[in-house]
Structure 1
Amino acid sequence: MACLCCGCGITNVEEGERKAVEYTVLKTDAIPPEVAEVIKAQGDAEFQMTYKSDGFLYILRGYGKQKSGGYSIQVEEVTATDGALHVKTRLLGPETKEEQKGDGSVPYLVIKTEDLELPVVFE
């Protein structure tokens, strides 16, 4: 059984020591079909959400429609405190004019980690 949880709320958590969390950024062909459907349903909109399934937490982050191709997303931090899992990503623009071609893109990524049963805070 899987459940979809939106990660867009404000969560008050105590700031404690942040500990690195092991994670994997999934390639498109490794994204579970049910997660791919959730992403597809977002269309061109920006999104931040989580999906839990079989003891894993999938963290979904999309930056919405961009004017060209060549964008990527960098994971800057995935850490845990006693009260929350913190996720920080950054959108990187195209570096060359060659990468700026095309009708646009909708960059997103999926991070897979063990479900620590903590609320997720997108930073």
Structure 2
Amino acid sequence: MRKFVKMLLAAALAASFAAGLSGCSVSREDKDKVRDLEFQVAAQGELPQELSKLIAQKVSQPFKLTYTDSQNLYIAVGYGAQPTGGYSISVKELYLTENSIILQTELMGPEKGEDPGTEQSFPYIVLRTELLEEPVVFQ
């Protein structure tokens, strides 16, 4: 009887392990790039008023948000309060997969030799791209 229970447990573990592996492969396929997305960095004056208000409310803390109007998708990423000025944000990747939009950004600090000042800054970036329905995955 014990041998039967051990075999049953082994079979259950093998089945759950195989199911876990197949789940991983599906996730990897979801992230396969369909195409890169073209975008523009939207200046403060180019943003819809409602989006500007949302950013103003969130800028002191890190944030990630999306906003759409009738023509564009706006993707905003903020890094919250930084101790000085001189920070910039680099867009590493923005691409479409079968089920989502992938965005990877990076906060870069003041360059050596640059005078960043002494006041806090609140770096953020807003990207404007084509209007798409897929959810955005921030990395």
Query: TM-score, with normalisation over the residues of structure 2?
Result: 0.74
Residues 63-103 of structure 1: per-residue CA shift (max 9 Å, x gap)? 00000000000111110011100001000100035432121
Greater RCO, 1 or 2 (C-alpha within 8 Å, sep 6+): 1
User: What residue ranges of structure 2 are gaps of 5+ in the alignment?
Assistant: 1-26
- Counterpart of 2:13 in structure 1 is none
Equivalent residue runs for 1:66-85 within 5 Å: 66-85=82-101
Q: Is 1:25 the counterpart of 2:41 in the alignment?
A: yes
- Counterpart of 1:55 in structure 2 is 71
The code of the aligned residue for 2:130 comes to: E
- Counterpart of 1:96 in structure 2 is 112
User: Percent same amino acid among aligned pairs?
Assistant: 36
2: CA distance, partners of 1:60 / 1:80: 17
2: CA distance, partners of 1:102 / 1:70: 10
Whose radius of gyration is greater, 1 or 2?
2
Would you identify which runs of 4 or more consecutive aligned residues in structure 1 move more than 6 Å?
none
Report which of the two has the higher share of helix. 2
Match of 2:136 among 107, 110, 120: 120
2: CA distance, partners of 1:31 / 1:12: 34
1: CA distance, partners of 2:102 / 2:38: 12
Verify the 8 A CA contact 2:59 2:124 in the aligned structure 1: no
Q: Is 1:110 the counterpart of 2:136 in the alignment?
A: no
Q: What's the offset of the Cα at 1:15?
A: 2.6
SS in 1 for 2:91: strand
Q: How many residues align?
A: 113
The code of the aligned residue for 1:31 comes to: L
1: CA distance, partners of 2:132 / 2:59: 29
User: What residue ranges of structure 1 are gaps of 5+ in the alignment?
Assistant: 1-10
2: CA distance, partners of 1:22 / 1:72: 20
Report which of the two has the higher share of strand. 1
